[in-house]
Structure 1
Amino acid sequence: MFLQVLMNWRDQQCLRFLWRNEESNRSPDVYVTKVMTFGATCSPSCAQYVKNHNAQRFQDKFPRAVEAIIREHYVDNMLSSVETEDEAIKLAELKANPGEESLSEMGTEKVLGLWWCTAADTFTFKVSSMINVDLLQGYIVPTKMHILSTLMTIYDPHGLLANFLMFLKILFQEIWRSGINWTNPLRANSGRNGKYGYASENGYAAVAYLRFEEDGEVECALVGRSHQLKPTKQFFWTDARNVLCWLNSDHWRYNQFVAIRISEILELTEVNEWNWIPTKLNVADDATKWQKLPDFSPASRWFSVPQFLWEAKEEWPVAVSSFNYTAEEKRPNVLHHSVKRVLFRDSCITETEARTMSSSLYGLSPFLDEEGLLRMKGRIDACEDVDDCMKRPILLPKCHPVTDLIISSVHQHFCHMNHQTTLNQIRSRFYVSQLPSAYKRVRARWQHCKIRQAKPVAPEMSALPPARLKAFCRPFSYVGIDYFGPMHVVVGRRTEKRWGVLITCLTVRAIYLEVAASQPTNAFSPSETSSPGEVPLWR
C-alpha cells in the first residue's frame, strides 16, 4: 500500500540514500525514494489520508464502495460484514480490477495475520512451512529451539487456541528451568508430565461465550476477545470459592496482589454477576489443567460451548450463598471498619452511656447526630458566622488511627509548620482529648519534622597527645607554629614583605613571636635570628 503512494518532489529529498552497486572503488550515487517507505513514521497516516481522499472522489457514483473503503478497512485489509447473501454478492461485485476472482472462487485468505476460509467462514491456523515435517510427525526428537520456534509461528490474537498454547508455553517454561541447551535434544524428563494442579501455580485462563435467546431458540458461540459494547446481561462463573469470598467482602482486607485484581474486576463487573460452577463444568480448566492432549474437534466443549448454556437459566448451576472466608491472603494491621463505627469502638460507647456521670465524656454533653457520629454540644448554636461542624465538633479519641490520619492530613496541609494554626484548624471540626500531646506524637512520625528538629551532636573529644602532658620539661620543648601576615617593612629604599611566626608552647601555652622573610619552612631558623639563651630549642 505504501509503495503505491507517490510523494511530493520536495519530500523526496528527505529520503535520500547512497548506492554504489558493490563497486567500492568509486563514489556512491545519490538516489531518492519517490514513493512512501515502510520505515517512515508518517507513512501509515499519509497512506490512510490518500486512500480516503481518492475514495471520496467517487462518492456520488459508488457510495457503497466509498463506505467500504473509508469505514470498513484496516490499513489495506477490507473487513465487511452483511446480513444476507444478496448483500454479500453485491459487495463482492464492487471490485476494482476485472481480473480479480469472484466470490465463488475465493478460498483461504490472510486477514490481519489470521487465515480466513471465506467459503466456510472459519479461521484456520497454519504452521510455518519452514518447520521440518518429520519434527511435527514425531520422527525427530525436538530441541528447545524447535519448541520456541513452533510456538512463535502460531498467531492467535483472539485466544481461540488458548487451551493448546497455554500447554505449550508452560511446557517451554519447564524446559527452560531444566537448563538444557538450545540445540540438545530434549530428555524424557525435561518438562513436567501429567496433570497440572491449579491455574495459580503456572498461569490463569478465561473463556467467554456469547448466548443469544430469541423466540425460544438459543444460540451460543465462542467469543475470542472482549467487545466495546456492553451486553444487556452478562454472567461470570468460577470454581474458586475463595475468589467469590474476596468479591463479596472488603477486598482491601487482603494483600496487594489480591486487592488490586479484585478492585479491577469490581470496576468492570457487579458482584451479583458472579456465580459458582463445579470444576467438572469449568471450561477454562482445559487451558490450565490437562489430563490428556487438547481436543481440537468442533465437538469439544472449548468450541461447542458448555452444555448448560444451551439450557434454560433455571437449569444452570445453583449459586453458592455461603462462603468460607480465608485468612491466608489477609493484609496485616489494616482497619476493617468504617469511620462511623470505628470512633470510640474500643469502649462501645452509646449516647446513653456517654451521658452517664461515670463516663469520661459526660462533661462534653455528647449526642449522636443523624449520621451516627458522636458530637459535642456547645454554647454557640445561635452564632450565624460559623458552620455546624464548629458548633458541634465530632468527638475523637486521643489514640486512634483515624485521629492520627486526620491530624497528619491537616499537618501536611500546613507544610509541617504553623503548629498553633494546625491545632486551631483541627479544633474547628473535631474535639480530641489532649490534642497537643496527640499532635506531638503524630509529628514525631514524619521524617521531614525529624530532620528539621534534629540538633547537631558535638563529637567526642580525643585523648591529648603526650607532648601536651610533659609537665617536668623546659618551656618550648614542644611547640606549635603558625604564620600570620604578610606585613610590609622598609629595608633601605625598598619595601619587602615579612610574615609573623607565632610559636606556642604545648605544655604551658607560652607564646613567642618571630619574623620570617618567606613562608617556606626552611626560611625560619631560630638559631640564626635569636641570641643564645633567649629562645630555647624546640622539637
Structure 2
Amino acid sequence: MWWCTATDTLTYKLSPKHDTELLSGKRRPTKREVLSTLMAIFDPLGLVSNLLIYLRVLLQEIWRAGIEWDDEIPGHLFEKWEHWLEVLPTVHKVRIPRCYRSAITIMPGTVTQLHTFVDASEVGYAAVVYSKFQQENNIECAIVAAKSKVAPLKVVSIPRLELEAAVIGTRLANTITNSLSFEMDERYFWTDSRNVLCWIRSDHRRYSQHVAFRVSEILETSNIAYWKYVSTKENVADEATKWSRRPELGSNSWWVRGPSWLRQSKKDWPGEPFTSGHTQEELRSTVYYHHFVPIPPVNVAQFSKWRQLVRAAATVLRSVANFRCAKSRMKHKHGPLTSQELNEASNLLIRFAQSESFSEEFASLSTVPPTLSKSSALYKLNPFLDDHNMIRMQGRIGACEYATMGARNPVILPKNNYISNLIVKDYHERYHHCNHETVVNELRQTFWIAKLCVLSRKVRSDCQTCKNLRATPNPPLMGELPKDRLAAFTRPFSFTNVDYFGPLTVTVGRRTEKRWGVLLTCLTTRAIHLEVAHTLSASSCVMAIRNFMARRGVPLKITSDRGTNFTATNKELKAALDAMDQDKLIQEIVSPKTEWQFLPPLSPHMRGSWERLVQTVKANLLKIKPQRTLTDEILQNL
C-alpha cells in the first residue's frame, strides 16, 4: 500500500524486492514462498480483501494437501496460483481517496451512515464497510475498510459461517465508529442469510450455544432494527468470499464504489422477500422440563388490572403446555392468545380466589353426595361445583333458555379478595367511571359477591380517575380593595372612573349618526352619571367630563383604561380610542385638585367594578328604548 500525496489517494504497487521469476509464473512456488508472498502484501484496511482471499484459500488447500514447507506445489494447485497471478498486476489500478467525502461538509442537517455488508461461502467469510454522507440531494459513498477470513479446516455449515461474518462485521463497524472523529447517525448491516436475520430477531436462547453466544455479542453492539436483507447478487461482500468471476480492482469497480442503490433514498433500497421470523436451523434439541406449576401461575399482587392478570396467566399456561408438547412431540402453540386460553386462565384465577376463602366449602362440595355445613356463609346460596370446578349459586331460572350460564348460576366470589377487587375495578373502567348502578347490575349477571355495592363504592373511592373528576377547585383569597373603593366620609364622585359604551344610532335630519355613552362611576358609592359623546375625539371627551363636573363637582382622581378594551366586539371603537390624543385630554382635565390615572394595559381584574355597571346600563337602555330610531333629544332624555 502506498499513499500518493499528489492526489491524496491510497494505491498499491509491486515492490521490486519480490522474486520477479516467481511472480511471473515461470517456476512453481513452494509452500513457504506462497506464505511469504501473502504476508508481504501490506493491507491494514483490507481494501483488496477480494484479491487476497483467493491466496488465503489457496494456502489452506496447500496445507490440507500435506505439502512440506520447501516442496513445490502440485499441478492442480499451481493452476490456481497462475490464475491469481493474472489478476495481481491489476492491483496498481486501485485508487481509493483517503478522504471519505469531497464536496459535503459535516454540519447540522448532514446525514451520516455506515453500511456493513457481510457474506460467507464454503471457503471463507468477509465483511466490507462503506460510509455514506447525504446533504440535501448530494450523496457521497466511499469504502472504509474490509476484513476477510478463510473457513476453518473442520467442516462448518454455511449458516454458521454467515453468522461468523455478521460477528466480524459488527466488530469492524464498532472499530471504525470508535476511530472516527465524528459520530455516525445510523449504522446499517446487510446480509443475504435468512437464518442470520431470524436468529438475530428472535429469542437466541432457543438455539444452540454456538449461535446464542454470537447473537448475544451482535445484539450488544448493534441495533436489531438496522439489520437488513440484501440479495446475493447485490451483496458486495460476496466478491470477497468466492471467485465466481474475476475481481475488478479499478477505482470505479463495484468493490470500491459499493452498490448503486446505496446512493439513493431509503425507499429504493432492497426489501425483504420473507416475513417469517423463525427458523429451525440450529434449534436446540427437545428439552424435558419437570416443573411444578403453582396455583395461580403468576403473583396476583403484582397486577393492578384484571385483563393484564388474565393475559399473563394465559401466557404462562401456554408455556407449560408447550413444554409438555415438546416431550410428546406435539405441535407448539404460537401467535395471539385465543379466547379459550383466556377463559381457562380466568377460571383458574377464580378457582384460586375461591379456594383461598372457601377452602372448607370446596372440600365439602367435592364429596359424593356433596354436603355443606349450615354454619357456612354459602349455605343459603345452595352452591354447587360446575364442570370447571368453580363454585356457583343455584338460581331459580335454570329453565330459561335465553339467559346465560352466569345469569342462571352466577359464580360466587369472596368480597374481601384481591381478585374480586380487580374484577369490580375492570367493570368500573369498562363503563368509563360512571353508571355505577349499571356496573353493579352487569356484575350480577355473572358473579355473586356479598356486599357488592359496598365493594363498588370502595373501588370508586380508590380510583384516581374518579378522584380527579370529583375534585373541586379551591378559589384563591380575594385581594385587598384599593383605597379609592374605601374612601368613606368623602363627597360622592371624588374618585371617579370614566368608560365608554356604544355606539348608539340617532337620527339627525334625514341621516343617521353615531353617539357614544360616557359612564362616570363613583368608585366609593357605585353611583353612576351618564353623558353623551358625539364623537370619540378628545374634545368630545373633555366636553362630557366638563358637563359632569358642572353637575357633580370636581373629582379628586379620575381613573380610566387606555382605550384598548372598551368593547370586545366593536373594532371601530377600539381603533378610535387607541388613536385618541391622551396627552391633550390630560392637559384639559388635570388640575392641582384633580389627578388622572391610566390603568396598565391587559389588566381586566382592575376595572371589574365599573365594567359590570356598563352591562347594567346597556341592559336597561335596551328595555326602555323605543322601537323607532332615537334622536339626540330622546337619547339625552333617556
**TM-score surpassing 0.5?**
no
Give me the TM-score of the superposition, normalised by structure 2: 0.37
Higher gyration radius (CA)? 2
Structure with the bigger RCO (C-alpha within 8 Å, sep 6+) is: 2
Write 1 or 2 for the structure with the bigger share of helix.
2
